[in-house]
Chain A
Amino acid sequence: MTQETLVRPVAQSPPVPARRRRPPSFRRQGGAAHVFLLPFLLGLVFVTAVPLLASLYLSFTDYDLLHDPELIGLENFQRMVSDERFWASVGVTLRYVLVSVPLQLAFALLLAVVLDKGMRGLALYRSAFYLPSLLGSSVAVAILWRQLFGHEGLVNGVLGWFGVEGESWLQNPDTALSTLVVLNVWTFGSPMIIFLAGLRQIPEELYEAARVDGAGKVRQFWSVTVPLLTPIVFFNLVLQTIGAFQAFTQAHIISGGQGGPLDSTLFYTLYLYQQGFQSFNMGYASAMAWVLLVVIGIVTAAHFLLSKYWVFYGDER
């Protein structure tokens, strides 16, 4: 799909007769393949599949690492329903995903379009915008953010020049989450680069044809650029949504691992960490992990289902 359009497999382009493509000894390759795949298969079984099933099992148990897991049926899930902090974490995470992902992608698309229109110094701007993406997930930048929005931080310093008395953005439950949204939007560089690569793929002839038909710049953008870019928007949307659901480091650092004030930065994964690795409620944490998996699965599936209404693939007939 998107990836295919970006790296076109050269090997497929010259048509090779079917019988020559079949390698000489089919059976020996099967054996060799499994030697090559040995680490991959071990990882698939022991690092992915078994833990995946184990966490499903644990989600129906009470387990504190010291005593044997005790089967308790659906109790963990029932507890979740009445757990106020659980719902707080769901609310925080949903708000974060719903606000920061569209904002981030809007910035990325806007800047990509501006840069793509024959701007001089493209490489330089691209680098500058990309830098935050590279650093954004680090503890160091989260520490910087904590100071930036603190009571005596840079943001209030700048506001002070305009005579605005700033509050502590991090100690106010109404604004604490917004600082993390800003942090995520700040890392718009990597989706921007994907957009730029996509813009390059749009054939110039299409713009010429549109011009011949009398379309202005704005019309060209909405009728040529946007439809042809929808697969990339889709790709970025799926990827960034999945990533935003799992945000952890920034929330942990900004709130000192607490998720405060008043649970306003209690991200889902942060609460899961507190339950699993601070209170050692491994059963409850597993149940929460599976709820997260199911939610991400549903959201991703919904993206794919809805995509047929708005994503345009050029090769469709």
Chain B
Amino acid sequence: MRAAVRHVVMCAFVLVMIYPLIWMVVSSVKPGNLVLSEPGLTPSEVTFQNYRDGWNALDEPFSLFFLNSLLVSVGSIVGNLVSCSLAAYALARLEFRGRKLYFAITLVSVMLPLHVLVVPQYIFFSQLDMVNTYFPLLLPKFLATDAFFTFLMVQFIRTIPRELDAAAWVDGAGPFRIYWSIVLPLMKPALVTAAIFTFIWTWNDFFTPLIYLTSTEMFTVPVALNSMMSSETANGVGALFAMSLLSLLPVLVFFVTAQKYLIRGISTTGLK
């Protein structure tokens, strides 16, 4: 009985939490003039006009913004996986002077606010004439600057038995061979976690593309949404909701399909 009451309370709470999202879904298929005047969940009329309007609301169609976002996200994933796994292997397994110092720097830089670095970085990239390109978004990823992932991978490599390295060493494998053939295949779960979080963070990232991307055809989805919002079209809200929802879809796909990696990522390092 008490368990039943508890479930009812919890379900009600879940409903309150999720309700705004449901409202967004329903509103996106309401005719533009009904979105705000009919707050309920049962639209008197269902239409996909909002999606058609939203798709072409800016100078370029949203397909381009989705492609741009995909390009930046995939590039970031490649960059993070390569650079962070290389650094993590060295920090977790090799012995060299300064290892503890580098590891400490990794931990501290997790806490370093991006805003302290962004002004000089912007000046640097603008002097190289790289504003309005994807270099400022991608280059840091190839240089292991997402310290969270380095940290995550170090923690994971430490759980791989050292005996495996030692055996490979006896068979004549050097550090690169051990990294490539032993450690990398065994750390697949950590790589998947890092890849998923990199995707979600990059996909949602607003600040960096807002600063660096200036022309519409370079926009990623979040910047495009922002620009659509400030230009408030005729049946604005419905179309804005429609595009916002589409922008959440890839994240929702990961939420449904890869949850164990997400949960593991958060439980071990406190990723968001």
Contacts and interface: CB of A to CB of B under 8 A. Distances in A.
Tell whether A pairs with B.
yes
Interface of A: 3, 6-12, 16, 20-24, 26, 28-30, 32-40, 42-44, 46-48, 50-52, 54-55, 58, 65, 114, 119-121, 125-135, 137-141, 143-148, 150, 152-154, 157-158, 160, 186-187, 190, 193-194, 196-197, 235-236, 238-239, 242-243, 245-246, 248-249, 252-253, 256-257, 269, 272-273, 276-277, 282, 285-286, 289-290, 292-293, 296, 300
Given A29-B95, A48-B117, A138-B222, A253 B229 contact: yes
Interface in B3-45: 3, 6-7, 10, 14, 17-21, 23-24, 27, 36-37, 39-40
Q: How large is the interface on B (under 10, 10 to 19, 20 to 34, 35 or more residues)?
A: 35 or more
B211 interface: yes
Contacts of A39: 82-83, 86-87, 142-144
A40 B92 CA distance: 14
A21 B95 CA distance: 10
Given A39-B83, A40-B86, A54 B17 contact: no
Contacts of B19: 154
A131 B255 contact: yes
B72 interface: no
Given A48-B145, A193-B267, A245-B113, A154 B225 contact: no
Interface of B: 3, 6-7, 10, 14, 17-21, 23-24, 27, 36-37, 39-40, 82-83, 86-87, 89-91, 94-97, 99, 102, 105, 109, 111-124, 126, 139-140, 142-145, 150-151, 155-156, 158-162, 166, 169, 174-176, 179, 200, 204, 206-207, 210-211, 221-222, 225-226, 229-230, 237, 240-241, 244-245, 247-248, 251, 255, 259, 262-263, 266-272
Contacts of B115: 246, 269, 272, 289, 292
B120 A40 contact: no
Contact of A140 (B87, B109, B159, B244): B244
Contacts of A186: 17
Contact of A137 (B175, B259, B263, B272): B272
Contacts of A139: 204, 206, 221-222, 225-226, 244, 247
A282 B3 contact: no
A55 B272 contact: no
Nearest to B115: A289
Contact of B113 (A42, A193, A282, A293): A293
The B interface is mostly helix, strand or loop, or mixed, namely helix
13 contacts: A7-B156, A9-B158, A24-B169, A30-B94, A33-B175, A51-B119, A54-B123, A55-B120, A114-B6, A128-B18, A153-B39, A197-B267, A276-B118
B161 A51 contact: no
A58 B119 contact: yes
Given A65-B126, A193-B267, A239-B270, A152 B121 contact: no
A37 B95 contact: no
B207 A248 contact: yes
A48 B225 contact: no
A108 to B, nearest CB: 11
Contact of A289 (B119, B162, B270): B119
B212 to A, nearest CB: 10
B86 A36 contact: yes
A152 B39 CA distance: 8
A3 B153 CA distance: 12
Contacts of A246: 113-115
A7 B155 contact: yes
B116 to A, nearest CB: 4
A280 B118 CA distance: 13
